[in-house]
Amino acid sequence: MGQKTALYQQHLDMGGKIVDFSGWDMPLHYGSQKEEHLQVRASAGMFDVSHMTVVDVKGGDAKDYLRHLLANDVGRLNTSGKALYTGMLNEDGGVVDDLIVYAMGTPGSAGEWFRLVVNCGTRKKDLDWMDKHAARFEVAMTERPEMALVAVQGPQAIDKVGAVLADNQKSALAGLTVFHGAPAGEWFLARTGYTGEDGLEIMLPEADVSKFWQDLSAVGVKPCGLGARDTLRLEAGMNLYGSDMDERVSPLAANMGWSVAWEPEDRDFIGRKALEQQRLKGCPEKLVGLVLKERGVLRAHQKVIIEGVGEGEITSGSFAPSLGHSVALARVPAATATSAEVEMRGKRIKVSVVKPCFVRQGKQVFA
């Protein structure tokens, strides 16, 4: 038996098919992964993401510590609640983990602090890495296992969440812009997500989450499992740690270069020197999108052949319910252009090479 979130009984009561996910008993789906996927694209769906790890970082050196630890620059977080996506890198420039960091308190004041949300499968590794590099900073890190997390995603997500909130929570939600969060008592509402849709990620005490889940269900928000979460993020071109990048993969080879803050030049973040060398020499690989409109499903680890250029490998692939055909992310040689072949069942199947994003807000974004 794995670890269980505070919503475990609700998952069983709603017919969730429970599977092991990085040591957690989590719902894969509630009957139809495809229907859950399309529900998020058309209306709103809710995901239990309480297995994620929340870490609060406080202390006089909190900002300096995170500016050293992370490839993106928390110095850019100049308003309370503002968030950024970043990689946490090793000295060779590989991705230890990817995460979201929020500015809390009042930026620039003595009360400034930060909240990080990291992957559950890398929890121990991440905390050990963070502790290792905290030694020379005046900083205190507190894990928040008592916090539950619920993601509500889709074009109707914000309206439906607003319909079940208390007045003080509605005030926090009002005017909330993309990639910003706001506290409401012990709750924290953030306009972030992992589906390519608008929506919210809500952190709240475990004691409150069962009622919140039931209230959302009562206004038509459908529960969704890990299966739909994976196909939604794939359609949106969002990386999955351990598949599309890991400690051996540079963010420059994982379509994460945009999340590396090179300025100011004197910010010495972990992995900077290795990335600078890669950038100077030219990264030999890149992450691209593959589109297969014929029958068949692209899967991870299938070989990608680019005639006259070389070979690559699919890192994530699946049938895309929003499109009606298969798509994939693949790491290929940097010289790869607009076409390739994938080795499937002993045959070479032609695929189109596109930018690694397929669907945003329910619409196809590639030509």
- Per-residue pLDDT reduced to its tens digit, 278-295: 999 999 999 999 999 999
pLDDT mean over 245-265 = 97
Average pLDDT over all residues of the chain = 97
| Cα 30–Cα 35–Cα 37 angle in degrees, nearest 5 | 95
| pLDDT (mean) for 27-43 | 98
For 63, the token pair is 């900002």
What does the DSSP 8-state code read for residue 120?
G
**Host H or E run for residue 356:** none
Query: Tokens 């100077």, residue?
Result: 280
85 Cβ contact list (under 8 Å, min separation 6): 72, 98, 99, 100, 259
How many Cα atoms occupy the beta-carbon half-sphere of 47 within 13 Å? 28
Contact call for residues 249 and 257 (beta carbons, < 8 A): no
pLDDT tens-digit series, residues 67-100: 999 999 999 999 999 999 999 999 999 999 999 9
**pLDDT score recorded for residue 184:** 96
Predicted local distance difference test score (pLDDT) of residue 108: 82
Q: Homologous superfamily of 1-279 in CATH? A: Probable tRNA modification gtpase trme; domain 1 (3.30.1360.120)
The pTM is what?
Answer: 0.96
| Domains of the chain, residue spans | 1-279, 284-364
Kindly state which CATH superfamily the domain 284-364 is placed in: Aminomethyltransferase beta-barrel domains (2.40.30.110)
What pLDDT sits at residue 175?
A: 87
Determine phi and psi for 263, rounding to 5 degrees: -105, 140
Residue 25 and residue 43: Cα distance in Å, rounded? 27
Residue 181 predicted with pLDDT over 90 = yes
Tell which residue, 367, 289, 358, has the closest CA to residue 328. 289
Q: 243, 300 in Cβ contact below 8 A?
A: yes
